[in-house]
Structure formats: C-alpha cells, structure tokens
Structure 1
C-alpha cells in the first residue's frame, strides 16, 4: 500500500504535465469587474499588502497551495524549492497529503521543510477521510511535528476518492472525528476542499466542531477528477464526467459571506494572477491559494518560484493602487469596489 501511495504522487504530477486540460481554466473571476480610480490619491510605493495569518506576518496574502510529497527525488526537489521561495518572499506554504509519510518513512524527508523555511507559515495536510481508516491524533500530530507546521489542513475530497481506482469513500461521521482532532491537536485545524468548493453547510458543520479556518478550494482550476481519470484502466469515463463538478470559487466566497466575521476564509481554486487575488479578498478571503502556476517553476529552481511569487505580488499591489486602497484591511470584504458581475 505504501509503495502504491508513493507511486500515485508521481502519477499525479505526470498526468498534470501530459494533459493541460487537467487545469480547467474556468476563468470565473473574469466575470467580476472592479471600479477603476483615475485619482487613487495614493503613492504606489506606499501601498501595504502585508497581512497576518496564524500569528505570523506575510508580505501579501499568498498561500502556495498543497501539491505533493513522497519518497522521490523530484518530489523532494519541488518541496524544497517551494519552501525556500516561500521563506524568501514571506508567503505561506501548504504541503501535499502527508499520508504517504506515515505509510512510508522514506517520504518524511520531503516534508522536513522547516529547515528551509524557518520563519514563514507552513501548513500540514492529511486527508480527513483517513480518520475513518486508522488515522487519529497520533498521526495528525506527527504530520504537524515533522513539518514544524503552524496549522494542519484536513482536506475533504469525496469526488476524488469516488473516482480514484483505490479511493477511500467512507465519509460517515467525519465531522465528529474532525472535532476530536480540533480539540487535541497542538495547532489549529484548517478545513479544505481540493477543487469542488465548500458550501455554507460544510462551513457550519466544521464550525460546530471547532474549525475556524476554511479553504473553499472551488472549481475552475486543477481537476483531480480528471487527473484520476488518467489512472483508471477499466475504460470508465467517470473522471471526465465529473471534471467540472463543484462550486466555482467566487460563488463559494459569495455564499460564505454570512460566515466572514466568524471565520478566516482562504480562496483557492482557479486563481490565476494578482487580480484574481484582489477580487478574492474583496469577496471576503483572508488568504489566496494558488498551486498550478508554481508546479513547473518548482521543478526548475527556487529562483524560478521566486519570480512567479514576485509577479503575483506586483499584480496584487497594482490592483490595490488602481482601486485607491492603501492596505488589505480596506480591501477585504469591500464589495463597494465591485462595478458589476456578469
């Protein structure tokens, strides 16, 4: 089983590389138009994009979203480059699922990233469904400790598990088990989808169990359903049938508006640039997660990842300037900045 999980990580990367359509490129944020200010009454150099998340200061509200991990040189290289770039630029980093680390000790090295990112936000990651398959507080705490994490994602991926050849599909009672981890873990639990979005009902269920951070991870970006399609050998096209299933990220943010004063929302899924990040913050996000733009640079070098981060930051700051907004607190949930939505 452990070798199978490790091999799966590489198969996921290869599927993304060979099939550009795993990125669904929904462009849902393009439907949101913002109000340009020709007289912004600001010095561009004075715009402050910094935020605080999980008790640490970030240079701007970027999270490099979960990608990978495992016992393979390519995976170790990707994660090290991401961690070094996140530290250099002062942004957050979430790792891929750490289940492989528990099943295969050789994979631990790909998650021992605090040495490369001593001060920035690092977020661990375990599949919530694994709480029904033998995982408990011991495994979750190990994921936190080995990474040196500031928080732990419990990710929800029922569609991926449903179409995965060897998927774990027993999600019964998971909310209660999430609550047990929340009460015992040494760091905050963050609840996350993986590309289909969290509904208000999901947020309510997590909140009742003590979760206060939610990554909506809506549709419009990477489709794990389509990725798993490439791993099937039974002729089924179920992965293609459901490749666009879910709540688009802007819609998930809008539907989560009643929760925005009580929880921290992370917008991910289909964000492409700093303008999409600005729109997400306007819709209530405290942090913005992107993964696809970083995968190829991360296979090359730390410097290539830094270039991508700096591009996003410049775009985000430029959007703030053109909206006449000097800091992120004035941008967040400021829907008066929206001209129209189509």
Structure 2
C-alpha cells in the first residue's frame, strides 16, 4: 500500500468513535474552589510564549494530516481555521512530501492559507538532517515537531521495525535546524526516564502526548487482516500521568512541556496548564467536527472554548497561564495511586495556594 493511501486510511479511522481511548484521568483531578477570585474576566491574558514564539492562545491544532491529495484538502481547511482563530497548528508527518515532490503542496497549502500563522513542521525520529531542514523550509515553519511512534510502527502492517539511533538523530537535528524542536509522542505518553534521555541530548521542548485521545495502535490494528494486536490498545501513559511524570523538568524549567491526548473540553485544557503545560494540542475532536459539520463550525467551537477558558481562569482567580500553577488541585483515584508508586508528590498540588 502506498504512503498516500495509508494517510487517507488514518483519517478515515481517526474520525471513528472507536479510535478514542476511554481514559478519564482528567476526572481524577479536582480544583479547590476559590470563592473570592478578586479579579475581572477582562483581566485574563491567554498568551503563552516559548522561545521567541508567542501563542495568542494556549491551544494548537495538533499534527494529523498531509501526504495525500485528500488530506491536503483537510490541511487547507485546518489552516483556514487556525488563521481565523489565531491558534497555532502542526501538519502531519511530512515524510510523504519529502519523498514525493507531487505531494509537497499538500503541506505548503497551510502557509498559503495562513501566511502569518504559527505552524509546526513534523518529521519522524529517523529522518536525516537534510530532510529535517527541507521539512522546515517547505512552508517556513516556526518550529519542528519530531514524533516518536514506536508502538504505532510495530502494529502498522508496513511499519518500521528498527528504532536504533533515534536519540543520536534527534540530537543532530536539534543542532542543525534554526527553529525550536519539539519532540512529541503520538498518544502513548512519556515517563520521567524518557525525559531524562531527551534532556541529556539537549531537547528543550517536549509534547508528552498521552493516552486518551486518538489511538494509533487501534488504528493500525484495524488495518491488519487478523486484528491480532487488539490487546495493545491500552498501551502507554495518559496525558495527566505524563504531565506528572514531567514535574521534575517543569519545576526546574529545564524543559518546556506541551500536552495533548484525550482533551474533551476547556476544563481538561486548564488542568493540563495547571500541571505545567505551556500549550495544549487538540487533534481528533477538531477533525471529527470538521468532517461532520464543516470548518465554520470548528471556528465557532474554538471561539467558544476561548471564552470558556477565560471564564474558568476567572473562577480560579488566575490572570495568566502561569498563575494556574499556583491553584490548588487535588489528585485522586488511579492517578494518585500511580504517583504514589512512582514517587511523585501529590500533596504539594493540593496546597499550592497556601
């Protein structure tokens, strides 16, 4: 099967409800209510900054599409949405465009439609420095995502089986490109151990992209004739647990952490930001609304979420994204048990405002 056909299959499967993992770890987090916020709604500032990049909103459209004519059309619509709402966006893996010149425009269209927007390029960890530079130059990307997707590749019928040299290759790319490099998972989460490995080679930006959203093990297993990897559909750490695993690097400011995976509503976004995420990626929900109701409805939804984000910050008495990290949040049930077994201090989150 060609890479182009595979991209089309990914989108077709990703919009199915079955592709979503029923992980509810966000429900294991509860804010301690602040009865006296002492602020006005109009004081809320939703700007988020990393490196020299200022995001008007702490949300972005995460990597999903590109690499076929059909997904190129979706990229164009996503670029229109990003332009209309002022949010950043990432394209899907650019491997197809890097290997086939006829597909380059399925990615370049995002810059044509959104000339002043913040756009992230996207490659795999095995891509050469030459291809990494071409990926950034393809549409003058503001940052480069390097995706880590070993479980997906293993289950993919025509996937990669050799993951040796990833760390070295990532290190080389960071030194070669002129934009921030964000190392991201694709829905399996990250651990403290993984973050140490990345920190040691100079990675400064990470998207922990946890379990709970679009499930690429499920998607690739659906493409297998015998569906024999069904037992791996719950592989990985949730977004909430991944953010807690990242606390050492968030508190020390050794890394800037982004979060994605399983975001259902503005409150989930606020919880990610409270745990230290600089920005929150949304993929599957946007794609499903787009395919069902069109881009104007997606724009309406993002604008509504923006208002709700400001409202929740006001309730919490938080004027900025950084202020959210001083709001007390109680961690319970499965997430608390994970933290206790992994030696992560949950009590300090419950008493942050004291």
> Same fold judged by TM-score > 0.5?
yes
Corresponding position: 1:163 with 2:159: no
Q: What is the rounded CA distance, in whole Å, between the counterparts of 2:85 and 2:322 in structure 1? A: 20
Q: Which position in structure 2 is the counterpart of 1:7? A: 5
CA contact (8 A) 2:190 2:245 kept: no
CA gap of 1:94–1:191, structure 2 versus 1, over 3 A, is same
Q: What is the rounded CA distance, in whole Å, between the counterparts of 1:236 and 1:62 in structure 2? A: 34
TM-score, normalised on structure 2? 0.89
Q: Which position in structure 2 is the counterpart of 1:116? A: 113
Question: What displacement does 1:277 show?
Answer: 0.7
Q: Which position in structure 2 is the counterpart of 1:203? A: 195
CA gap of 1:54–1:307, structure 2 versus 1, over 3 A, is farther
- Decide which of 25, 30, 34 is 2:27's aligned counterpart: 30
Secondary structure, aligned partner of 2:138: helix
CA contact (8 A) 2:21 2:213 kept: yes
Q: Which position in structure 1 is the counterpart of 2:350? A: none
Q: What is the rounded CA distance, in whole Å, between the counterparts of 1:94 and 1:68 in structure 2? A: 9
Q: Which position in structure 2 is the counterpart of 1:306? A: 299
Corresponding position: 1:16 with 2:7: no
For structure 2, which runs of at least 5 residues remain unmatched after alignment? 334-354
Q: What is the rounded CA distance, in whole Å, between the counterparts of 2:307 and 2:318 in structure 1? A: 15
Q: Which position in structure 2 is the counterpart of 1:152? A: 144
The size of the alignment, in residue pairs, is 329
Corresponding position: 1:100 with 2:96: yes
Q: What is the rounded CA distance, in whole Å, between the counterparts of 1:140 and 1:278 in structure 2? A: 33
Q: Which position in structure 2 is the counterpart of 1:48? A: 45
Deviations 1:197-255 (A, max 9, x none): 1111211111222210000001011110000011111x1421x2111110111111111
- Decide which of 168, 180, 188 is 1:176's aligned counterpart: 168
Secondary structure, aligned partner of 2:2: helix
Q: What is the rounded CA distance, in whole Å, between the counterparts of 1:146 and 1:310 in structure 2? A: 29
Q: Which position in structure 1 is the counterpart of 2:228? A: 237
Secondary structure, aligned partner of 2:145: strand
Q: Which position in structure 2 is the counterpart of 1:216? A: 208
CA contact (8 A) 1:59 1:89 kept: no
TM-score, normalised on structure 1? 0.92
For structure 1, which runs of at least 5 residues remain unmatched after alignment? none
Deviations 1:148-176 (A, max 9, x none): 11111111001000100011121112101
Secondary structure, aligned partner of 2:173: helix
